[in-house]
Each structure stands twice: as structure tokens, then as C-alpha cells.
Amino acid sequence: MTETNETVSNFVRNIIEEDIASSKFGGRVHTRFPPEPNGYLHIGHSKAILLNDGLAEDYGGKFNLRFDDTNPTKEEQAYIDAIIEDVRWLGADWEDRLFYASDYFEQLYEWAVQLIKEGKAYVDDLSAEEIREYRGTLTEPGRNSPYRDRPVAENLDLFERMRDGEFPDGSRVLRAKIDMSSSNINLRDPVMYRILHEEHPRTGDRWCIYPMYDWAHGQSDSIEGITHSLCTLEFEDHRPLYDWFVEQLGIYHPQQIEFARLKLSYTLMSKRVLRKLVEDGIVDGWDDPRMPTLAAYRRRGYTPRAIRQFSEMIGVSKANSMVDVAMLEHAIRDDLNEHAPRAFAVLDPLKVVIDNYPEDKVEWFELPNHPGDESMGTRALPFTRELYIEREDFMEDPLRNYYRLSPGQEVRLYGAYYITCDEVVKDEDGNLVELHCRLDPESRGGSTPDGRRVKGTLHWVSAAHAHEAEVRLYDTLFVVEDPGASDDLREILNPESLVVLNGAMLEPGLAEAEVGNPYQFMRQGYFVVDSKDSTPERLVFNRTVSLRDTWAKVRNKQ
């Protein structure tokens, strides 16, 4: 694993260092993260957030959070609030620089008027469909709109009346007058404004024309004095347009740099798809722990520290590639292994009665909270005649090399006693009901004077003290590595993406577990209290990640 805190080099850093050396922006570094508030942030966004925030921090610069809120049909205040919470949770710091593209609507309008006056923008009466037809294709040039050569005065008048609300949605647009035969389709007279009689979460009904993203984005960067405007590769072809706008307006010119999007195996990230999963009820909201959103990850028990570590592991490049989701889980596991205290939880309980142990006796065994970190202290666990062990830790007819409990085979109950199984009790249908065992009093604390070895060590919980809980186990939402390549999401859904276990038995201290504090349930994985559904009466735990680390195996083979 790469070392934390050591600055990992990447091509963006190289560009920034050259710019600092040549004093391109007076040595300044000013980045931003520009989300559109039309959904929740996902793990792909965290790559962009941590990259931008990290660069600002490393080069003594500034980082802005700016909402690209130019499309009121899809945007909501609830998304704005959720995004702010998530960016803060990740630990990126915009200080007092929280901005909105909608703060610039008036300025953008004035700049549009400036371009109209200079003959560089015009009002077009073609319909959206006609505009598409006239645009041409990658191999064919476009055609000029019949309205392209309207006199400036007419354009100014119509644009003002568009703003005043005289025209219905879709009846007119404002377009930049660039070049309908450009080999770059983005330069074929792109639309700058459309009419939308829609309530905006921030500007209310003040506007009924809204700037297109391409018209708002570069100018917003310019207004904020952004030096390095980082975005994903699909905007590479838009860069000439952004450059054209700031050059025509004669305003400050940020440098756009494109990098590859994060793509994760078994995961879909497009907000459009995530919204569909929510709306179709395939998941239980944006923060369903199976979603790749930051809100879902938080609820599932992922930590910002681990997401940062993952972000450093994957680095930043110009080439699109798919990252193995096992690598993200590896980072989570690594972090929790270090920070999560251990606890006993029996997820699928089987009752064990210790026949040679008195009925009312309770012994307390002091166990370490973390095997490698004494500073995490110890806890006392009660031991009694009736216990629970994991159902899968017993086999009546053991396979070869099965070292857990079976008739006549001795095992260690972690930190307590050695036990041997004498009798298997079943109901009339042949189902296992309980085991009767006997302990060796000499083995108290988990070892014997004769140094006798046992191969199996099991976790256990005192039945009288156990706290019952619901435990939710998660797996990937999709069964194929590249779900983006599939036409029908329903066909590739993983039927076992959520398995609910009722009646798990927890060591008593876990009754006080709090949201946000992870535990390692020994031999089972990492778990956290569910922030939404857990109540003091009915605890609900989410499995953050299992113990099995497939990524470490892949890496060790390399």
C-alpha cells in the first residue's frame, strides 16, 4: 500500500509546478469542486473533491465549493444540503468560499448582451429538433440557421423579451455565433440560453431563461479566479468553447485540465442511473448502504480516512480505466483493522449447554479490545452455563481438516475454556436444537497446564447476557464486473446484495454501540450501527466489509 501523507506525483501536479515556476498565475493555485445539485455525490466525485482540495492544500492555495445550479428542472435544495454535508464529511475545506453559479446569473446575462452587441450571439427561433438537424454530424458540416443574421437590435430586443417572460418554453434560444462547419461540434453555434418557466431553488421565479452549463461554467471559474479548472476527460472537446467565450469577453482565463473519471468494477456511478435505482425502488433511497454514494458509504461504515487512502492508491491519470472494487474494500479494511475495537457477535446462533458448569455461576473474562493496540484497553465478558456459538462452527460429521466443534473434538472458546461436545440434541424433524458440552476447568483463560493444543478457537456469547440484534450483510448490487455495458439493469442485479439476519446475539457491551463507531465482530468482519433504522430497543448493525481481502491476494501475486 502507498504511504499516506507522502505526496503522490501525478501529471496535474507537474502542470501546476510548471505554472508556479513560470509564474503563470502569479504563482497562485486556486481550485474548485463544481457539483450539479441533481443527486447525491458518489465515490467518483470524491476523487475530484480530494484531488482539488489536496492540490490547494499542498501548494498553499485555495479551494472553492461551487454549485453548478443552472438547470432548475432537476435540481433541489435537498441535494445542495446533502452535497455540503458529504464534502464536509470527506474533510475538504472551502473555508468561506461556498458559491453558486446562480450568484452569477446577472453577470452572465450582461456578458451575453455584450456578445450580442458585438455580433457574436443571436436569438434563434428554430425548435430544439431543428437545431439538432441543422447541427450536422461528425462527418458532415452543419447549416446556418435562417435566423443567424438577425440584426443586433432585433437580437437585443428579443433576448430582453425572453428574459421578461414573453415567450413560452422552447420557443427561442440564444446561441453563440461561431462556426457551423467547425470540426468540433461544440463550436457549431452552441446554445447559451434556453427559456424555462421553472422555479429555481435559489433564485425562485426571478429568471425564466437559464444559462447552459457550457456558457456558465467557464465564466464562473473566471469570476472566482480559478487557476486550474480540473474536470473529467469528456470535457476535453468543450475546452475550445470555454476558451472562445473568455477570449471574446476579454476576461480572466483559467486553465482547464482534464483527467480520467473513476470507474469501479461492479458499480454504477452516473447520477441518472442512481436516481433511477432510487425511483424504481430497487434500493431504499440514495443512502441505501449498497449505493456508491458518500451518504451510503458513511451509513455503511466507510471512513473518510479510508476513502482518502483509496484515492491516493488510485492516483490521477489521463487514461480511462476500471478500478477493482476490491481495492476500495482493501483500503476500508486496512483502516478499520487499525481503528476498530474487537467484539463478539454470533450471527447465526447455536445454543451450547456446558453440563459441568453450575447453573447460577457467572465468571467475567477480561479480553483485549485490540490484539495489536493495548491503548484500546480491555472489556469484561460474562461466561455462563448456556452460551451461543456460530452454527457454522459445528459439524456433526466433520470433513477432514475441520478443526471447529464436532462430537468428541475439543476446541477453545476464545479467552475462556476448552470444551468438548458430548451430545447433539435434535427436534423430531432432525433439526439441530442444542449441543451439550463439557469444559476442562484446568483450561481457564484459554490454555492448559499440560500445554495441550487445540486447533479451533471459537467466539461465543453468554445466552443470559446476550443482546439480540438485526444484522444486515451487503454485497455488490450487480453481479457483472462492468454493469455499464448492460442494457437492462434488472437482469444483472445481485439477488444477494442484502441479506438480513434476525436474531444475532451480541456481547452485552454492544448494546451501547453508537452510530459512527465501527467494530470488528471477530471472525465475521467490520460492523457499524445503522444510522437510520437502529433503535435502542432494536439494534440494527450494517456489515461494512467482510474480513476476506481479495485485493491483498491479487497484489501479493504481482
422 near ligand ATP (CB under 6 A) = no
Report what 232 binds from ligand ATP, Mg ion, none; CB cut-off 5-8 Å by kind: ligand ATP
Distance of alpha carbon 334 from alpha carbon 324, whole angstroms: 16
Q: Specify the residue, 197 or 272, whose C-beta has the smaller distance to ligand ATP.
A: 272
Q: Is the separation of the CB atoms in 8 and 309 below 8 Å?
A: no
Active site residue 400: no
Task: Tell the smallest beta-carbon distance from residue 134 to ligand ATP (Å).
Answer: 27
Distance of alpha carbon 388 from alpha carbon 505, whole angstroms: 8
Max Cα separation, the chain?
Answer: 103
Find the Cα–Cα–Cα–Cα dihedral 287, 269, 488, 325, rounded to 10°.
-90
Choose, from 36, 76, 85, 481, the residue flagged as catalytic.
36
Nearest of 552, 556, 545, 543 to residue 327 by alpha carbon = 552
304 near ligand ATP (CB under 6 A) = no
Q: Of residues 19, 25, 34, 226, which one binds ligand ATP by CB under 6 A?
A: 34
36 near ligand ATP (CB under 6 A) = yes
Task: Tell the smallest beta-carbon distance from residue 145 to Mg ion (Å).
Answer: 27
Choose, from 271, 300, 333, 379, the residue flagged as catalytic.
271
301 near ligand ATP (CB under 6 A) = no
Looking at beta carbons, which residue is closest to ligand ATP?
44
Q: Specify the residue, 214 or 507, whose C-beta has the smaller distance to ligand ATP.
A: 214
262 near ligand ATP (CB under 6 A) = yes
* Helix 325-339 and helix 550-557, axial crossing angle in degrees, nearest 10: 110
Q: Of residues 47, 175, 177, 379, which one binds ligand ATP by CB under 6 A?
A: 47
Task: Tell the smallest beta-carbon distance from residue 36 to Mg ion (Å).
Answer: 5
Distance of alpha carbon 48 from alpha carbon 34, whole angstroms: 9
Q: Of residues 28, 97, 261, 370, which one binds ligand ATP by CB under 6 A?
A: 261
Distance of alpha carbon 26 from alpha carbon 135, whole angstroms: 40
Task: Tell the smallest beta-carbon distance from residue 24 to ligand ATP (Å).
Answer: 21
Choose, from 24, 120, 143, 261, the residue flagged as catalytic.
261
Query: What is the per-residue DSSP string for 402-460?
Result: --SBBBTBEEEETTS-EEEEEEEEE-TTS-EEEEEEEEEGGGTTT--TT----S-EE--
Distance of alpha carbon 404 from alpha carbon 236, whole angstroms: 59
Q: Specify the residue, 141 or 484, whose C-beta has the smaller distance to Mg ion.
A: 484
Q: What is the DSSP letter of 329?
A: H
In this structure, what C-alpha cell is assigned to residue 531? 444510522
Distance of alpha carbon 387 from alpha carbon 486, whole angstroms: 48
Report what 55 binds from Mg ion, ligand ATP, none; CB cut-off 5-8 Å by kind: none
Query: What is the per-residue DSSP string for 227-266?
Result: SEEEEEGGGGGGHHHHHHHHHHHT---PEEEEEPPEEETT
Distance of alpha carbon 131 from alpha carbon 191, whole angstroms: 9
Q: Specify the residue, 34 or 518, whose C-beta has the smaller distance to ligand ATP.
A: 34
Region 211-240 residues binding ligand ATP, contact defined as CB under 6 A: 231-232
In this structure, what C-alpha cell is assigned to residue 282? 430497487
379 near ligand ATP (CB under 6 A) = no
Q: Specify the residue, 264 or 326, whose C-beta has the smaller distance to ligand ATP.
A: 264
Q: How far is CA 48 from the centre of its chain?
A: 12
76 near ligand ATP (CB under 6 A) = no
Stretch that binds ligand ATP, among 18-26, 125-133, 264-272, 349-357 (CB under 6 A): 264-272
Report what 518 binds from Mg ion, ligand ATP, none; CB cut-off 5-8 Å by kind: none
Active site residue 271: yes
Residue 308: helix, strand or coil by DSSP? helix
Q: Quickly tell me which residue has 425511483 as its cell.
A: 279
Q: Specify the residue, 293 or 384, whose C-beta has the smaller distance to ligand ATP.
A: 293
Q: Are strands 173-176 and 121-124 parallel, antiparallel or unpaired?
A: antiparallel
Q: Of residues 25, 30, 35, 216, which one binds ligand ATP by CB under 6 A?
A: 35
Q: Specify the residue, 2 or 321, whose C-beta has the smaller distance to ligand ATP.
A: 321
Active site residue 261: yes
How many of the chain's residues bind ligand ATP (CB under 6 A)? 14
Q: Is the separation of the CB atoms in 306 and 300 below 8 Å?
A: no
Phi-psi region of 542 (alpha: psi -120 to 50; beta: other; left: phi over 0): beta
Task: Tell the smallest beta-carbon distance from residue 349 to Mg ion (Å).
Answer: 48
Report what 35 binds from ligand ATP, Mg ion, none; CB cut-off 5-8 Å by kind: ligand ATP
Region 13-52 residues binding Mg ion, contact defined as CB under 5 A: 36
Stretch that binds ligand ATP, among 39-47, 90-98, 443-451, 547-555 (CB under 6 A): 39-47
Q: Specify the residue, 37 or 142, whose C-beta has the smaller distance to ligand ATP.
A: 37
Report what 269 binds from ligand ATP, Mg ion, none; CB cut-off 5-8 Å by kind: ligand ATP
Nearest of 293, 185, 281 to residue 240 by alpha carbon = 185
Q: Of residues 163, 238, 271, 412, which one binds ligand ATP by CB under 6 A?
A: 271
Q: Which helix (H) or strand (E) holds 363?
A: strand 363-368
Task: Tell the smallest beta-carbon distance from residue 424 to ligand ATP (Å).
Answer: 53
Q: Is the separation of the CB atoms in 65 and 94 below 8 Å?
A: yes
> Under the rule (CB under 6 A), what is the footprint of ligand ATP?
34-36, 44-45, 47-48, 231-232, 261-262, 269-271
Active site residues: 36, 261, 271
> Under the rule (CB under 5 A), what is the footprint of Mg ion?
36
